[in-house]
Chain A
Amino acid sequence: MAHVFALVQAAADSAAAYRDFPVIGSRAAIWIAAEIHLMFAAFVLGVPIFAVVAEAIGIFGKDQRYDRLAKEFTRLLLIAYSATAIWGAVFVFLLSTLYPRFWAYLTAIFGVSMWVYVSIFFFESFTLYLYYYGWDRWKQGRAKIVHWCLGILLNIWGTAVMFIADSWLTYMMTPPRDITPETSPASIKLWHAILNHTWMPINIHRLIGNVVFGGAIVGAYASYRFLAAKTDEERAHYDWMGYVGNFIAISALIVLPFAGYWLGREIYQYDQSMGITMMGGFMSWLWVIQAFLIAVLFLAGNYYLWVGMGRIPGAERFRPYTKWLLVVLVLGALVWGTPHTMIADSRELAAMGGSHHPLLGALGVMSAKNTAVNLMILSTFLSFLLYRRANIRQVVPWAKTGTRIQAAMFVIAAGVVLFFGIRGYFVEAIVRIGYSVYQVGAVLACIVFVTVIDVLMARGAQSLGAIQWGKMPPRSQYALFILAVTFTWLMGLMGFARSGIRQHWHVWQVMQDTTPYAATPALGYAAIMISTCVLIFLSLVGFIFWLGGLAEKSTFVPSTEAPHVGH
């Protein structure tokens, strides 16, 4: 009987609360609009961080290449910015017309922040215009510093806009505990709603994620231009740009899991059933796919570096070691992708005695996963280190000792990771969770100290020859494409996980979704939706890249004395 009442209530609620979108339905329409808006938003927030850092290197390192790189990306930003705004408008119009009651609820709480949002958006746009169009006008002396400060201001506006939008979506996931279905939205204090459990973890996770995404898109752009390049000079430039993009993407990727871990922890703390749905329940398969995709990122990132060693004189000294790094990465990928609950038919289930494999099941738990990913991070860092040192020979008297200390740090970090990984099997869960902090701490400490030693050791180093930029086989460029596609796909996938754990709630346990689309979609359907969004986004980005090329062709003046560095 209660079910009948619930249905009648739902029908009554739905009549005024929702409208439907033709053919694909409201949920799919909102999904596509929100996801593509988010991807463009990540692009226009990540690339300015990239651009302002590149400009700073150009100014303070007196390297004009970085300045050209920053400007080239700011030009793409102009077009991407319009696309972000258009998709944002599509998203808002769809939300307000298809989900009017929910929209009214959100605006009742967040109305003021929405006004602030558009104001900042306005300032952000005009700062961007000043930043781009003033590039050649303010390129000397103090004016250049002022111009760089405009870039910083652009990032501040962008970050503020993101923080405000994050408060809306995190409120939907983790509304403050004192808010109930009976609480009038008008009585909820704005700051109280903004300062919810997952607001800051999402802010930080997205901030770092945007840097990764910006770097990956820069890499993809560079690879596209590299493959289309007609001259060796162009090829050399875009090869270098691809390297810088990849470097930034992978460097930021290394710290991204820690921010994600914080977010996951906050979700568990807020509501353990939400956490279990995400990590152990029906969303858990997304994490297996995620593990697989992150393994692809690590493998593709390292592959790009190893192929790149072919253009560095002196790199042949380190070639024998890369295959062992590959072994660690492949083993890490195998462990990381091993599901705890395996897909098996009845015969296999009977042979295993359940859905956990008696032996491989041990690789499906967090102790094994954390160990694998930390060793993969260490291996990737070692790849970077070898790449960095490939064409130099240290001349400081303590070079050998320094290298030994670095090696010892790697061994100690790997030892700590393995020790706590194995010990994690013999202690209770609450203790085991704490071990990941020691593992991460050991890896980060190794990265920091080894880098410091390396920088000191490289002082006055003897060069074994300049990097022959442009002398890269085309297959290396596809690794950069893979990175960009995988990052985009991952964003869509994990965005679905984050949003999907609300299940049939617009606002978790406060406002129920009573549309026919309230059921959490099956993984196959979700995968199709995510892939569609990725395809639409990448097609539009491809168009933007093409436009970028068009704009440059009109002003590009090839050098008459290009050095021969190509194939």
Chain B
Amino acid sequence: MRAYLRHPFWQAVGLFVLAYLVIVFVIPMLPGSAMVPSSVVLQYMATVLVGILIWVSDDEARWTTFKEPLHEVLIQPRLKLVRNGLLAAVTLVVGCLTYSQVKASVAAPPNLRSIHPAPPSQITFRGKTITLVGLENPLRKQGELAPHVAEGRRIYYQNCVPCHGDHLDGQGHFASGFNPLPANFQDNGTIAQLTESFVFWRIAKGGPGLPREGTPWNSAMPAWEDFLTEDEIWSVVLFLYDQTGWKPRTWEVTAK
């Protein structure tokens, strides 16, 4: 057993299996984690495999020892049974993998989704032209913030909560009916990365106002400019940041 543990070939096999177990089983078990998508598993395993191959072959002595079992299995007459079994197993595995890749499935195929549509530099809101570049939330300069946040909370719970949820985490009652799921504002990858003007634009124009580039978009978000005033949308934006604790992305001083 100890000889196997010290042998580079079996160490390499062991490391590869260990990496697979960590990625597929251990990471999902960590607190707050979830299953790792198969595309990422593939990517991680390819990287690990390259790393292992580098390790076994960057030293001549280790490389020679590493190849020994492979060499023996392929040429030793006494290992004929192992050789045939291995060839059959490899063929079978490749066949199964190929079948699983090409077989018909009822699941929708995974798609590459552009998560940040590029905003236009200006939009028209009910006939009024608004320049988004460099734009700050105007309500932040209008007296106390608390009444605006309260107003935003009221509007949010009247209009947004069915999809974006009570906790602003995209888990509203209707959420499971959508693919992709409604935006999770608690996630550090959504409003935490955006300027308030970007969030304003998304709420105002919704799915129909997404740019022509990057189509097809999957968004059931209505264009809220048809239902809410400009100030109402800004107050919802304030509420989203206030409630989640995220700070909106700010503009660079030089940006005009």
> What residues of B have a CB within 8 angstroms of the CB of A292 in the complex?
43
B213, A520: Cβ atoms under 8 Å? yes
**Binary CB contact string for chain B from 7 to 34 against chain A (1 if under 8 A, 0 otherwise):** 0000000000000000000010010111
B125 interfacial contact with A, CB 8 Å = no
> Of B38, B117, B118, which is within 8 A of A348 by CB?
B38
Distance A494 CA – B46 CA, assembled complex (angstroms): 23
Distance A326 CA – B58 CA, assembled complex (angstroms): 11
A344, B213: Cβ atoms under 8 Å? no
Distance A338 CA – B48 CA, assembled complex (angstroms): 13
A273, B188: Cβ atoms under 8 Å? no
Q: Which of A289-329 contact B (CB under 8 A)?
A: 292, 295-296, 299, 302-303, 306-307, 310, 319, 322-323, 326-327, 329
A339 interfacial contact with B, CB 8 Å = yes
Known: A295-B47, A348-B38, A360-B36. A429 touches B250 (CB 8 A): yes
> What residues of A have a CB within 8 angstroms of the CB of B36 in the complex?
357, 360
B140 interfacial contact with A, CB 8 Å = no
B112, A523: Cβ atoms under 8 Å? yes
Known: A303-B58, A430-B252. A356 touches B189 (CB 8 A): yes
> What residues of B have a CB within 8 angstroms of the CB of A330 in the complex?
47-48, 50-51
A428, B247: Cβ atoms under 8 Å? yes
B138 interfacial contact with A, CB 8 Å = no
A276 interfacial contact with B, CB 8 Å = yes
> What residues of B have a CB within 8 angstroms of the CB of A296 in the complex?
50
Distance A306 CA – B60 CA, assembled complex (angstroms): 11
Majority SS of interface residues in chain A? Answer: helix
Distance A271 CA – B122 CA, assembled complex (angstroms): 12
Q: Which of B47-85 contact A (CB under 8 A)?
A: 47-48, 50-51, 54-55, 57-60, 63
Known: A269-B255, A276-B116, A359-B32. A306 touches B107 (CB 8 A): no
Chain B residue nearest to A501 (CB atoms) is: B118
B114 interfacial contact with A, CB 8 Å = yes
> Of A343, A429, A475, which is within 8 A of B39 by CB?
A343
Distance A269 CA – B189 CA, assembled complex (angstroms): 22
B60, A310: Cβ atoms under 8 Å? yes
B118, A274: Cβ atoms under 8 Å? yes
A345, B214: Cβ atoms under 8 Å? no
Which of A10-18, A239-247, A280-288, A373-381 makes up part of the contact surface?
A280-288
Which of A35-43, A49-57, A64-72, A361-369 makes up part of the contact surface?
A361-369
A359, B27: Cβ atoms under 8 Å? yes
Closest Cβ of chain A to B43, distance in Å, is 6
**Binary CB contact string for chain B from 179 to 194 against chain A (1 if under 8 A, 0 otherwise):** 1110110011100110
Closest Cβ of chain A to B57, distance in Å, is 6
B121 interfacial contact with A, CB 8 Å = yes
> Of A295, A348, A362, which is within 8 A of B188 by CB?
A362
> What residues of B have a CB within 8 angstroms of the CB of A399 in the complex?
none
A346, B54: Cβ atoms under 8 Å? no
> Of B58, B114, B116, B187, which is within 8 A of A356 by CB?
B187
Known: A341-B115, A342-B40, A520-B213. A353 touches B34 (CB 8 A): yes
Known: A272-B255, A281-B118, A310-B60. A360 touches B40 (CB 8 A): yes
Closest Cβ of chain B to A337, distance in Å, is 6
B181, A353: Cβ atoms under 8 Å? yes
B180, A349: Cβ atoms under 8 Å? yes
> Of A323, A327, A337, A503, which is within 8 A of B47 by CB?
A337
B34, A358: Cβ atoms under 8 Å? yes
Closest Cβ of chain B to A113, distance in Å, is 29
A352 interfacial contact with B, CB 8 Å = yes
A473 interfacial contact with B, CB 8 Å = yes
B152 interfacial contact with A, CB 8 Å = no
Number of A-B pairs, beta carbon distance below 8 Å: 184
B54, A354: Cβ atoms under 8 Å? no
> What residues of B have a CB within 8 angstroms of the CB of A319 in the complex?
59
B221 interfacial contact with A, CB 8 Å = no
What is the size category of the interface that chain B forms with chain A?
35 or more
Q: Which of B103-129 contact A (CB under 8 A)?
A: 107-121
B213, A282: Cβ atoms under 8 Å? yes
Distance A271 CA – B115 CA, assembled complex (angstroms): 19
A333 interfacial contact with B, CB 8 Å = yes
Known: A326-B51, A348-B38, A365-B188. A273 touches B247 (CB 8 A): no
A355, B47: Cβ atoms under 8 Å? no
B44 interfacial contact with A, CB 8 Å = yes
Closest Cβ of chain B to A558, distance in Å, is 27
> Of B114, B192, B248, B250, which is within 8 A of A281 by CB?
B114
> What residues of A have a CB within 8 angstroms of the CB of B173 in the complex?
none
Distance A307 CA – B57 CA, assembled complex (angstroms): 8
Q: Which of B157-187 contact A (CB under 8 A)?
A: 169-171, 176, 179-181, 183-184, 187
> What residues of B have a CB within 8 angstroms of the CB of A353 in the complex?
34, 169-171, 181, 184
B33, A306: Cβ atoms under 8 Å? no
Q: Which of A244-289 contact B (CB under 8 A)?
A: 269, 271-274, 276-277, 280-282, 284-285
A562 interfacial contact with B, CB 8 Å = no
Distance A362 CA – B183 CA, assembled complex (angstroms): 17
Known: A337-B47, A340-B189. A359 touches B108 (CB 8 A): no
> What residues of A have a CB within 8 angstroms of the CB of B55 in the complex?
323, 326
A475, B32: Cβ atoms under 8 Å? no
A271, B121: Cβ atoms under 8 Å? yes
> What residues of B have a CB within 8 angstroms of the CB of A339 in the complex?
40
Chain B residue nearest to A300 (CB atoms) is: B54
> What residues of B have a CB within 8 angstroms of the CB of A347 in the complex?
107
> What residues of A have a CB within 8 angstroms of the CB of B47 in the complex?
295, 330, 333-334, 337
B142 interfacial contact with A, CB 8 Å = no
> Of B111, B181, B189, B248, which is within 8 A of A361 by CB?
B189
A343, B112: Cβ atoms under 8 Å? yes
Chain B residue nearest to A427 (CB atoms) is: B247
A1 interfacial contact with B, CB 8 Å = no
Distance A355 CA – B179 CA, assembled complex (angstroms): 10
> What residues of A have a CB within 8 angstroms of the CB of B180 in the complex?
349, 354-355
Closest Cβ of chain A to B173, distance in Å, is 15
A351 interfacial contact with B, CB 8 Å = yes
Closest Cβ of chain B to A326, distance in Å, is 6
Chain B residue nearest to A359 (CB atoms) is: B33
Q: What 5 additional pairs, Cβ within 8 angstroms, besides A337-B43, A342-B37, A358-B32?
A: A280-B116, A353-B169, A353-B170, A357-B40, A473-B60
Residues of B within 8 A of A (CB): 27, 30, 32-40, 43-44, 47-48, 50-51, 54-55, 57-60, 63, 107-121, 133, 169-171, 176, 179-181, 183-184, 187-189, 192-193, 213-214, 247-252, 254-255
Q: List 23 A-B contacts (CB under 8 A).
A: A269-B252, A273-B118, A274-B118, A276-B116, A276-B118, A280-B116, A281-B114, A299-B50, A310-B60, A330-B50, A333-B47, A338-B40, A341-B113, A341-B115, A341-B189, A348-B110, A352-B34, A353-B171, A354-B181, A359-B30, A359-B34, A360-B27, A428-B248
Closest 3 CB pairs of A and B: A280-B116, A330-B51, A344-B37
Residues of A within 8 A of B (CB): 269, 271-274, 276-277, 280-282, 284-285, 292, 295-296, 299, 302-303, 306-307, 310, 319, 322-323, 326-327, 329-330, 333-334, 337-362, 364-365, 425, 428-430, 473, 475, 503, 520, 523
